[in-house]
Amino acid sequence: QSRRWNVEVQSKSGTLAFTCEPNENLLYAGLRQGLTLPYECATGTCGTCRARVASGSVAVGWEAAPGHKGLKRDKGDILMCQTRPQSDCVLRVPAHVHTSPRHAVPRHHSAVIDCVRHLTQDVIHFEISLNDPMSFDAGQFVVLRAPHLQGMRAYSMVNFATETRRLELVIKRKPGGGFGNWIFEASREGQTVDVFGPLGRATFHPEENYDLLMIAGGSGIAGMMSILSRAVQEDYFSSHKGYVFFGVRTLDDSFYLADFSEHVAAANGNLEVTLAISDEAVASPVHPGHPHVRVVEGLVHEVCARAMKGRYDNVMSYIAGPPPMVDGALRTLIIEGRMTPDRIRYDKFG
Ligand code: FES
């Protein structure tokens, strides 16, 4: 099909419309045109972008997407991030949808991979150079697709910059991870990838004036590095506190330690970074090569719960990592920290 389709969105806030290019999914088309469609992962896992097709025909890309769980497929329920229209459509979206100038509007870009380096055995830092500049909030992510691979994968930016062509990203190898395996199995510098973004609402806004609590597992630390970069650039820690809890299995699985050390040194005693080590005994309370970084044995949300007792006032918290880790951290913050949902921003990725 080579024509563009008209899509009408009926939401709790009224009716809006957008157009969808051939082979473009509904979510990216709507976001690109400034609609605040509901989403979290943008890649088929969370189920947040559900909608019901009231009229028109559609094609679903990834039938086995975990986000389909609980949807009434026979009634026309779809995931907007996995569905392309095949005709003009009317969608019912069970959320408030507006057009909002406050959200950075994501766009399609192409980019070239460079600066690939191993951080640990199964974690790679890589950078991409965009064909045109992008501005993003600290804590946001992009989705990438490699040539000849199905589906988009989400990666949070590690750096923070405005109007930049350069995005720094981190990837952890996972069994069955298409893009992850692709980048690990051969040198990919110079390869072109499709990029859509920026996406994500787990973002840092200095004007909100909160102390920052960051809880991350594995490559979930990416977005926290971006938040720390922005905070340090703006001297945020001269008047606010920051607490970072980074969960890894062993000391050898940790990375970005030199960056943490620099940030702690710049923060005048107002930034604490703790590595939570889940799968080996801890010999020293500080990292042997990076004395600014504390090391504690345990699961990251448990280590956080012990350290943060009584320190949750005026805190905005950020969580990112695999779903069980994020769920554990959410329970800690809600039950022990008595934090309300408006003070918790998180990204779950499978
Ligand atoms: Fe579509 Fe998560 S946003 S499933």
Q: Which helix (H) or strand (E) holds 274?
A: strand 271-277
Is 217 near ligand 1, meaning CB less than 6 Å away?
Answer: no
Last residue of some domain: 199, 220, 243?
Answer: 199
Q: How far is the CA of 54 from the centre of ligand 1 (A)?
A: 19
Q: Is residue 86 domain-shared with residue 139, that is, in the same domain?
A: no
- Residue 341 in any domain: the answer is yes
CATH of the domain at 88: 3.10.20.30
Is 48 near ligand 1, meaning CB less than 6 Å away?
Answer: yes
ipTM comes to 1.00
Q: How far is the CA of 258 from the centre of ligand 1 (A)?
A: 34
| pLDDT, tens digit, 9 for 90 and up, residues 6-17 | 999 999 999 999
Q: Print pLDDT tens along the chain (350 aa).
A: 578 999 999 999 999 999 999 889 999 999 999 999 999 999 998 899 999 999 999 999 999 999 999 999 999 999 999 999 999 999 999 999 999 765 568 999 999 999 999 999 999 999 999 999 999 999 999 999 988 887 888 999 999 999 999 999 999 988 776 788 888 888 889 999 999 999 998 999 999 999 999 999 999 999 999 999 999 999 999 999 999 999 999 999 999 999 999 999 999 899 999 999 999 999 999 999 999 999 999 999 999 999 999 999 999 999 999 888 999 999 999 999 999 999 999 987 65
Q: Name the amino acid, one letter, at 288.
A: P
Is 30 near ligand 1, meaning CB less than 6 Å away?
Answer: no
Q: Is residue 148 domain-shared with residue 273, that is, in the same domain?
A: no
- Residue 101 in any domain: the answer is no
- Residue 98 in any domain: the answer is no
- Residue 97 in any domain: the answer is no
- Residue 26 in any domain: the answer is yes
Put the strands of the sheet holding 50-55 in their side by side order. 14-20, 5-11, 89-92, 50-55, 77-79
Last residue of some domain: 140, 170, 199?
Answer: 199
Of 53, 21, 49, which Cα lies nearest the Cα of 36? 49
CATH of the domain at 230: 3.40.50.80
**DSSP codes, 69-108:** TT--GGGTEEEGGGEEESS-EEEE-SS---B-TTSPPPEE
Q: Is residue 270 domain-shared with residue 294, that is, in the same domain?
A: yes
Is 42 near ligand 1, meaning CB less than 6 Å away?
Answer: yes
Q: Is residue 221 domain-shared with residue 279, that is, in the same domain?
A: yes
Number of domains the chain is built from: 3
- Residue 118 in any domain: the answer is yes
Q: Is residue 189 domain-shared with residue 211, that is, in the same domain?
A: no
pLDDT of residue 263: 96
SS3 of 295, please?
strand
Q: Is residue 192 domain-shared with residue 211, that is, in the same domain?
A: no
Residues whose CB falls within 8 Å of the CB of residue 266, separated by 6 or more in sequence, listed in order? 232, 237
pLDDT of residue 102: 59
Q: How far is the CA of 18 from the centre of ligand 1 (A)?
A: 19
What is the spatial distance between Cα 89 and Cα 30, in angstroms, rounded to a whole number?
13
Q: Residue 83: which domain range?
A: 5-92
Q: Is residue 82 domain-shared with residue 162, that is, in the same domain?
A: no
pLDDT of residue 101: 67
Q: Is residue 223 domain-shared with residue 283, that is, in the same domain?
A: yes
- Residue 10 in any domain: the answer is yes
CATH of the domain at 188: 2.40.30.10
* Minimal-distance CA residue to ligand 1 atom 4: 44
Q: Is residue 217 domain-shared with residue 185, that is, in the same domain?
A: no
Q: How far is CA 243 from CA 96, 129, 170, 225, in A?
A: 33, 31, 21, 12
Q: Is residue 249 domain-shared with residue 291, that is, in the same domain?
A: yes
Last residue of some domain: 169, 199, 229?
Answer: 199
pLDDT of residue 151: 80
Q: How far is the CA of 5 from the centre of ligand 1 (A)?
A: 21
pLDDT of residue 91: 98
Tokens representing residue 86 in the block? 């095949």
Q: Is residue 153 domain-shared with residue 268, that is, in the same domain?
A: no
Q: How far is the CA of 223 from the centre of ligand 1 (A)?
A: 19
SS3 of 11, please?
strand
- Residue 286 in any domain: the answer is yes
Q: Is residue 285 domain-shared with residue 301, that is, in the same domain?
A: yes
pTM, whole model, 2 decimals?
Answer: 0.93
Q: Name the amino acid, one letter, at 162.
A: T
